[in-house]
Amino acid sequence: MNSNSKIALVTGATRGIGLETVRQLAQAGVHTLLAGRDGARASEAALNLQLDGLPVEAITLDVTDAASIAAAAKTVQERHGRLDILVNNAGILVDDATKGVSGQSLETWRKTFDTNVFGVIETTQAFLPLLRKSQAGRIVNVSSLLGSISEHQNPASFIYGFKGVPAYNVSKSAVNAWTVHLAHELKDAGIKVNTIHPGYVQTDMNKSGDQQNGELSVPEGARTSVKLALIGNDGPTGGYFYFDQVLPW
């Protein structure tokens, strides 16, 4: 059991924003569990960070597999006895933007919600008993500005025209709603729950063929998650953030 530092777990952490979130938390002195559905890739990514002297540990966790989630929670219980920070970072975008809002298949909707919504809920439920053992538990749900219903209705908004990936957008709206409800339940338990927009980040999700899209670097894209993961007892809960900006639901 590691009792000398905070213990964090980041899902979907073998690349992109998730991997960088692990790096930044570890650089802040947090013993960080790098979780990925492919155990070999998670181990390789963790080893690379360990070679830099960072306190990182690999763990296999597929957020769409109940047995994998349960096994990961059991492993954390046995190794550490608690969890201080859970960053629900794993997410997918599988919409076909050429099919519009009404043309997406039910398979696309179900696959998207299995990872982006039900995976977040089931993972959180599994680790909540360990978070309750923390003196200051923190849950960060990685959402997107594309989940903001207010901004989708605002013609002046940057995202007003981004309706071509509806399953992804609506799944992130659901994550935002889950965050509000969970934060209310845990408001007297010392566990703070927030959701974040990482920004328009230069990740594989924002590639168009060989064209890399995005305004922010990956390290910048991880900053909001890390900030909310490390907030003090006077920090917010039940909020929706981008850096220091409070976003409209």
2 within a domain of the structure (yes/no): no
Residue 168: active-site member: yes
Q: What is the rounded radius of gyration, in angstroms, for the C-alpha atoms of the chain?
A: 17
- Strand 85-88, strand 31-36: pairing: unpaired
- Burial of residue 73 (CB within 10 Å: 0-12, 13-18, 19+) is buried
Tens of pLDDT, residue by residue over 15-60, are 999 999 999 999 999 999 999 999 999 999 999 999 999 999 999 9
Beta pairing partners, 47: none
35 within a domain of the structure (yes/no): yes
Q: How many CA within 13 A on the CB side of residue 106?
A: 0
Catalytically annotated residue among 160, 168, 200, 240: 168
Q: What is the CATH number of the domain that holds 86?
A: 3.40.50.720
1 within a domain of the structure (yes/no): no
Give the confidence band of 204 by pLDDT, cuts at 50, 70, 90: low
What is the rounded CA–CA span in Å between residue 11 and residue 18?
7
What is the rounded CA–CA span in Å between residue 31 and residue 1?
11
pLDDT at 220 over 70: yes
- Could you tell me which residues come within 8 angstroms of residue 122 by beta carbon, excluding any fewer than 6 positions away? 63, 66, 69
Secondary structure class of 69 (helix, strand, coil): helix
158 within a domain of the structure (yes/no): yes
201 within a domain of the structure (yes/no): yes
Predicted model pTM: 0.94
Q: Which domain holds residue 102?
A: 7-246
Is residue 197 within 8 Å of residue 145, measured between CB atoms? yes
237 within a domain of the structure (yes/no): yes
Domain count, the chain: 1
Tens of pLDDT, residue by residue over 147-193, are 999 999 999 999 999 999 999 999 999 999 999 999 999 999 999 99
